[in-house]
Chains A and B, each alone.
Chain A
Amino acid sequence: MAAKESKPARIELLQGTLDMMILRTLQWGPQHGHGIGQAIRASSLDALQIEHGSLYPALHRLRKQGWIEAEWKITENKQRARYYRLTQRGRKQLSAEESRWNRMVEAIARVMKPASSS
């Protein structure tokens, strides 16, 4: 009971935000699927509890869009893994989505906290 309360409340993902977060994560360099999942979870301070399975349809979708590329590499533990890397088009897409996201957050913030703007 107590353990549950101490955890931050989980947040359902908004449609399309997973794609944006994957692109954002890959900005730091190539990463495999599991690594991407870990990174998102860690940087959200465990608030976003995404089902890891849902990463893979998203990754394949992004690859088809041409925003990321995939390549099989050997990990530090000598295992074969598929690494994803941001393409030039992916970078453009990321900055477009970021600015869109920021505008949206600002707009929502204005609605939710009208007092602060006055």
Chain B
Amino acid sequence: MPRWKQIAERYLPWILRRGREERELDEEIQFHLQQEQSLRVERGEAATEARQAAHRDFGNVRRVKEVTRETWSWTTLESILRDGRYALRQLRRAPGFSAVAIATLALGIGANSAIFSVVDAVLLKPLPYPEAERLVSIHQALPQASYLNVSWPDFIDWRAQNRVFDDIAVFQPNSVKVRENGEPIMAPAAFVSASLFTVLGTKPSLGRLLSPEDDRPGAPPVVVVGNSFWRRALKGDPDLTGKTIEIAGYDVTVAGVLGPEFSLPQIEADVYLPIGRMMAGSESFTDRANHPGLMGVARLRSGVTLDRARADMNTIMSRLAQAYPASNRGESVKLALLPDVLLGAIRPELLMLFGAAALVLLLACANVAHLAMARASTRQREFAIRGSLGAGRRRLIRQLLTESTLLSLGGGVIGVLLAHWSIAPLVRLSPYQAPGLADAHVDSRVLLFTLLVSLVAALVFGCAPIVQAAYTRLNFALREGEMSRAGRRFRSVLFIAEVAIALVLATGAGLLLRSVSALLNVDPGFHAEHLTALGVVRNGGPADRNLQYFTDAVDRVAHQPGVLSAASVMCPPLSGTCWTSPYWADSQSVTGNGQRPWTALNMITPGYFSTIQTPLIAGRAFMDSDTAGTRPVAIVNKTMASRMTPSGSAVGKLLHVQWAAHELLEVVGVVPDVKQFGVGVPVMPEVYVPVAQMPVSFMTVVVRSTAASGAASQQAAAAIRSVDKEQPIKQVTALSETILNSAGRQRFAALLLSMFGFVALTLAAVGISGMMAYTVTRRTRELGIRIALGARRTEVLALVLRQGMLLVSFGVLAGLGLAWMLTKLVRNLLYGVQPHDIPTFAGATVLLAVCAVAACILPAWRAAHVDPIEALRHE
């Protein structure tokens, strides 16, 4: 049976019956009145008197009908519809009120819906892995290094010995040369253990994934490709499996293609290569003390808790520490649930922004409540009439709530539209790299949320006129436009809350803006303007050829027009990662590996510090004469220099760096601290060595040019390619942008809080202005009398202003207290400013006070210019 027919059969009799009942009740009552009338006429009363008496005897016909109808069980829906129609009529009769209310609510609801769609996409939607709550991220740690990647031999032992995981996997972010349309490009790659896809629960969309056999040394080379790479570079070839593609110059057979939803935790990759096959025999993998950039992930056996897994892994680690004290003494393993690792940092920030949006909505509700109360007080007469016509108190309350709900739903509809338009820019600006963030949009969940929020908002502001009415008897006792004392007090409380909320948001925005400016004013230790970084990877080849290549590339770039100087470095400033190594100064006693402090280790060409414009503090820069054949030298940063020799110069001292090419280095120079891991991250000790004495296969060419970076970087890239057109350039970044991005989280939060704060201040100002205008109108007569009795205009002005300012100062006090408590929530985002920063609190207060005074001026001016004759005639 078609659906509409089902519905019709179910509801049609209901509707028909409903109409019949109504008609029959009319007829029944009509009959009663006629009967009574004719009875009285028979007794000798006059016809008209008899009719009146019959009506009097019967009581209020309308009310009788209403009460009778309520005994019919199906009136609820019907009366809701009737209330809705009536409410719509009422709202249409007050288009100004309705428009302002809907617009205000739309702002508040829209802000919440937009933030919710981001929160939903980032925090509430599950990660793209089945049973992600059983996934655990693994890394290692030493007392001096809280984060170490996983060591390969340890990983092998964990897999063999643990009793808590279904399986454990490792993966290593990497990049390999592939061809896209014949051109060589560097593709992000992941070297993964064959167990990775089993652990993550991944299914291929084409072919197969990796098997343990693929992962053995000597196995035929295979690759799994990501979905976007398959579509982009391989033209979405449906018969790809079994064919070969060129990877790093070799022909590799494609085993399978991943689905479009797959992504690795924390890193991006286009191709996935079996790590054991390629690396298992290499020195960096067989050395148990080495942690070669492997990230660990495991799947808990079902029913195993994280604590039990930790206990089991600790047992294994203590066994390993006994067996291999040189590498494993003091080493521990850190387990955390993967969802917490991926979302842990974002969660409090997003929830804080969500809370701020909720405050904006609360403020919007308070404003609409003001409006609704002012309107309700002008409708006393309407309510009184309806009441005397038999509308029960509950009906009137329902009527008011229906009107509120309609307004709120109107606001919700526009709010959803606002959210729809603002999600894309919001996501673009957001600094978060969370799975699912890119496809945040208004979906059914956002719609449902908006509906709920609208209904709650309707309840919140809809109660205001009801509370007011509760203090006001529904009769003619009050004149049109008057409000009871209790109603006024309630409005004052609302008003104080508004000022307080606006102040809290303004303070939060202020703190974050100060953090952003502090971050951007941090001295990064180098000069970022017109400085471009071009990442270059050279695959394979002997070390001296790599060195020659990078030297040539720097040379050619430096001779381009518009280039002031160029150099190359392994870890450019702010790149976030670098090699690290245990070190000890020659004078310090040698202790075990586990107890040694760690330093960052970086390789540079001679012109590096002059290119990034970091002046030497002491000693000399590297020179072309520092070669593989000469004495191993090092330049240290200021932090390292002061650790080596708290007083006196480090130049000329000897330093052991365990994993440098030459362990013993002579310090020849000291430079200021250059921010290596991010603008807001504290500097760690750093050792620079000449790349000639420790060649590497990937470096970043840094270029200082005279003009803006765009054209200069194009030229530089061309120059690098001219050395060897087979060498792809991985990434081109302007370092000034990197600095901007390293304040990304603060900028995002500051932007949103500023917007919210602006909306809040506007709403509060409108609220103040409206309330004062209302007060002045109410007191027109009194003010007229005062003026007639000789009060000066300035006195009247002060009178009105004083009343407004009294409320504002209560609001400010409440707001300061609230902000004092709430700003602790943003502590993690703050940089260079305390949560209780007095200048920020003072600034926000002054801003609010200025807005408040501005909002009071117009009504106060009107009050001062009341024409006494007009005012008295009015009454």
Question: Taking beta carbons and an 8 Å cutoff, which residues of A are in contact with B?
Answer: 32-34, 37-38, 51-54, 56-57, 60-61, 64, 72, 79-82
Verify A56–B31 contact, CB threshold 8 A.
no
Contacts of A60 in B (CB 8 A): 68, 71-72
Q: What residues of A have a CB within 8 angstroms of the CB of B205 in the complex?
A: none
With A33-B28, A34-B32 already in contact, the answer to whether A57 and B68 are too (CB < 8 A) is yes
**When the two chains form their complex, are residues A57 and B58 in contact, meaning their CB atoms are under 8 A apart?**
no
User: 6 A-B residue contacts at CB 8 Å?
Assistant: A32-B35, A53-B58, A53-B64, A57-B70, A80-B27, A82-B28
- B68/A34 in contact, CB under 8 A: no
Q: Decide yes or no: A54 and B64 within 8 Å by CB, A34-B35, A60-B72, A64-B73 being known contacts.
A: yes
CB distance from B7 to the nearest CB of A (A): 25
Confirm or deny: B67 has a beta carbon within 8 angstroms of a beta carbon on chain A: yes
Which residues on B sit within 8 Å (CB–CB) of A72? 24
* Residue of A51, A52, A61 contacting most chain B CB atoms (<10 Å): A52
B77-96 interface (Cβ within 8 A of A) = none
Within the assembled complex, what's the spacing in Å between the Cα atoms of A34 and B29? 9
Residues of A within 8 A of B27 (CB): 80, 82
State A79–B57 Cα separation when bound (angstroms): 21
Q: Which residues of B contact A79 (CB under 8 A)?
A: 31, 34
Is B63 an interface residue when CB atoms closer than 8 A count as contact?
yes
Contact of B31 with A32 in the complex, beta carbons under 8 Å = yes
Given contacts A34-B35, A51-B57, contact A56 B28 (CB under 8 A): yes
With a cutoff of 8 Å between Cβ atoms, the chain B residues found around residue A80 in the complex are 27, 31
- Asked whether B32 lies within 8 Å of A54 as measured between CB atoms, the reply is no
Bound Cα distance A72, B27 (Å)? 11
A38-B39, A64-B71 are known; give 11 further A-B pairs, CB within 8 A.
A32-B32, A33-B31, A34-B36, A51-B59, A53-B59, A53-B64, A60-B72, A80-B27, A81-B35, A82-B24, A82-B27
Report the minimal beta-carbon distance from B796 to chain A, rounded to whole angstroms: 55
A52 touches B57 (CB 8 A): yes
Asked whether B59 lies within 8 Å of A54 as measured between CB atoms, the reply is: yes
Q: Which residues of B contact A (CB under 8 A)?
A: 24-25, 27-29, 31-32, 34-36, 39, 57-61, 63-64, 67-68, 70-73
Contact (Cβ within 8 A) A52 B63: no
| Docked CA distance A72–B35 (Å) | 16
Q: Which of A37, A56, A61 contacts B29 (CB 8 A)?
A: A56
**Beyond A57-B71, A61-B71, is A52–B31 a contact (Cβ under 8 Å)?**
no
Return the chain B residue nearest A63 by Cβ: B71
Question: B64 to chain A: closest CB distance in Å?
Answer: 4
Per the bound structure, the CA–CA distance linking A64 and B70 in Å amounts to: 12
Q: Report, nearest first, the 6 A-B pairs whose CB atoms are least far apart.
A: A53-B59, A53-B64, A34-B35, A51-B59, A57-B67, A60-B71
Chain B residues, CB < 8 A from A81: 28, 31, 35
- Chain B residues within 8 Å of A54, by CB: 59, 64
Residues of A within 8 A of B57 (CB): 51-52
B24, A57: Cβ atoms under 8 Å?
Answer: no
Chain A residue numbers with a CB within 8 Å of B31 are 32-34, 79-82
For B60, list chain A residues within 8 Å (CB): 53
The distance from the CB of A19 to the nearest CB of chain B, in whole angstroms, is 12
- CA gap between A52 and B58 in the complex, in Å: 4
Least CB distance from B61 to A in Å reads: 7
Are B32 and A33 within 8 A (Cβ)? yes
B636 to chain A, nearest CB (A): 93
Name, among B24, B63, B67, the residue most crowded by chain A CB atoms within 10 Å (CB to CB).
B67
Q: When the two chains form their complex, are residues A52 and B24 in contact, meaning their CB atoms are under 8 A apart?
A: no
User: A56 vs B36: C-alpha distance in the bound complex, in angstroms?
Assistant: 15
Give the distance in Å from the alpha carbon of A60 to the alpha carbon of B69 in the complex.
9
Q: Which residues of A contact B68 (CB under 8 A)?
A: 56-57, 60
Q: Smallest CB-CB separation from A56: which chain B residue?
A: B68
CB atoms of B61 and A53 under 8 A apart:
yes
Bound complex: CA A25 to CA B36 (Å): 18
Considering the chains assembled together, what is the distance between the CA atoms of A46 and B524 in angstroms? Answer: 101
- Chain A residue numbers with a CB within 8 Å of B70 are 57
A37 to chain B, nearest CB (A): 8
Residues of A within 8 A of B64 (CB): 53-54, 56-57
Residues of chain A within 8 A (CB-CB) of B25 are 56
Separation of A53 and B67 alpha carbons in the complex (Å) = 10
- Chain A contacts of B29 at CB under 8 A? 56
Contacts of B59 in A (CB 8 A): 51-54
CA distance A60 to B39 in the complex (A): 25
Q: Please name the residue on chain B nearest to A61 by beta carbon.
A: B71
Distance in angstroms between the alpha carbons of A88 and B72 in the assembled complex: 22
Q: Please measure, in the bound complex, the distance between the C-alpha atom of A61 and the C-alpha atom of B64, giving whole angstroms.
A: 13
Determine the chain B residues whose CB is within 8 A of the CB of A51 once the complex forms. 57-59
A52 cross-chain contacts in B, Cβ below 8 A: 32, 36, 57-59
CA distance A79 to B25 in the complex (A): 15
Q: State A1–B28 Cα separation when bound (angstroms).
A: 36
Q: Which residue on A lies nearest to B25, using beta carbons?
A: A56
Q: Once bound together, how far apart are the Cα atoms of A34 and B34, in whole Å?
A: 10
The distance in angstroms between the C-alpha atoms of A33 and B26, with both chains bound, is 13
CA A79 – CA B34 in complex, angstroms? Answer: 10
Q: How far is the CA of A72 from the CA of B59 in the complex (A)?
A: 24
CA separation between A60 and B36, bound complex, in Å?
A: 20
Report the Cα distance A24→B190, complex, angstroms: 90
How far in angstroms is the closest Cβ of chain A from B99? 41
Minimum CB–CB distance for B437 against chain A, Å: 56
Residues of the A chain whose Cβ atoms lie less than 8 Å from the Cβ of B35: 32, 34, 81
Among A32, A53, A79, residue most surrounded by chain B Cβ atoms (within 10 Å): A53
CA distance in complex: A80, B29 (Å): 12
- How many Å lie between the Cα of A47 and that of B24 in the bound state? 31
Residues of A within 8 A of B36 (CB): 34, 52
Min Cβ gap B60→A in Å is 7
* Interface-centre pick from A34, A38, A54 (highest chain B CB count, 10 A): A34
User: What is the distance, in angstroms, from B116's C-beta to the closest C-beta of chain A?
Assistant: 45
- A34: B residues at CB distance < 8 A: 31-32, 35-36
CA distance A33 to B34 in the complex (A): 12
Please give me the residue from chain A that is nearest to B67 by CB atom. Answer: A57
Among B57, B61, B72, find the residue whose CB has the most chain A CB atoms closer than 10 A: B57
B61 closest partner in A (C-beta) = A53
**Residue on A with the closest CB to B29?**
A56
A52 to B32, CA, bound (A): 9
C-alpha gap A20/B34 in the complex (Å): 26
The smallest C-beta distance from B392 to any residue of chain A, in angstroms, reads: 13
Q: How far is the CB of B56 from chain A (nearest CB, A)?
A: 9
Please name all residues of chain A whose beta carbon is closer than 8 Å to the beta carbon of B73 when the two chains form the complex.
Answer: 64
Chain A proximity of B27: nearest CB distance (Å)? 7
For A82, list chain B residues within 8 Å (CB): 24, 27-28, 31
Q: How many angstroms from the CA of A80 to the CA of B36 in the assembled complex?
A: 15
Q: Which residues of A contact B58 (CB under 8 A)?
A: 51-53
Residues of B within 8 A of A38 (CB): 39
A89 CB, nearest partner CB in chain B, Å: 17
| Beta-carbon nearest neighbor of B31 in chain A | A81
* Least Cβ–Cβ distance between A46 and chain B, in angstroms: 12
- Expressed in whole angstroms, the minimum distance between the Cβ of B579 and any Cβ of chain A is 84
> In the complex, what's the smallest C-beta–C-beta distance from A75 to chain B, in angstroms?
9
Contacts of A37 in B (CB 8 A): 32
Closest to B34 in A: A79
Residues of A within 8 A of B34 (CB): 79
Bound-state Cα–Cα, A38 to B72, Å: 25
A13: min CB distance to chain B, Å = 13
By beta carbon, the residue of chain A nearest B38 is A77
- Distance (Å) between the CB of B10 and the closest chain A CB? 21
Smallest Cβ-Cβ distance to A41: which chain B residue: B57
Report the bound CA distance from A32 to B35 in whole Å: 10
The smallest beta-carbon distance between A70 and chain B, in angstroms, is: 9
Please measure, in the bound complex, the distance between the C-alpha atom of A80 and the C-alpha atom of B28, giving whole angstroms: 9
